[in-house]
């Protein structure tokens, strides 16, 4: 049985973004790749923003468990998502690279 995270009510999405953001940050700090993740996130942000704004506008998806705070036409949580996902990818890729490099030594 999975835990019911909706106990956070309208903060559910924010709490999940902060949780996974903390995991991503731990990976980035462990691999010393915070700056790399920030660069990747900043480059991808305009594309992610445009796509997110469009999909929300046409009704592709709905986010019911959110704070209701919108910035530049999209939920606060989506702005966080646009940094968390690339950060998790960069952190994971860097950790895998470290593992590969340590096996070759």
| pLDDT tens-digit map of 20-77 | 999 999 999 999 999 999 999 999 999 999 999 999 999 898 888 999 999 999 999 9
Q: Which residue has the tokens 């691999």?
A: 31
Confidence of residue 97 (pLDDT cuts 50, 70, 90): very high
Which pLDDT score, from 0 to 100, does residue 61 have?
A: 84
Which pLDDT score, from 0 to 100, does residue 91 have?
A: 96
Tokens at residue 25, please? 């940050």
CA Rg, the chain, in Å?
16
Instruction: Check if the beta carbon of residue 14 is closer than 8 Å to that of residue 81.
Output: no
Distances in whole angstroms, Cα of residue 31 to Cα of each of 51, 89, 97, 98, 100: 30, 12, 9, 8, 13
Q: How many angstroms separate the CA atoms of 53 and 37, rounded?
A: 23
Residue 74: strand pairing partners: 71
């Amino acid at each position: 049985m999975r835990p019911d995270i909706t106990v956070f009510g309208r903060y559910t999405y924010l709490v999940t973004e902060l949780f996974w953001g903390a995991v991503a940050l731990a990976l980035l700090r462990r691999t010393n790749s915070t700056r790399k993740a920030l660069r990747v996130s900043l480059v991808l942000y305009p594309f992610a923003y445009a796509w997110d704004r469009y999909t929300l506008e046409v009704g592709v998806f709905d986010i019911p468990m959110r704070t209701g705070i919108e910035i530049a036409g999209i939920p606060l949580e989506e702005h966080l998502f646009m940094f968390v996902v690339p950060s998790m990818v960069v952190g994971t890729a860097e950790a895998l690279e470290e593992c590969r490099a340590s096996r070759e030594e």
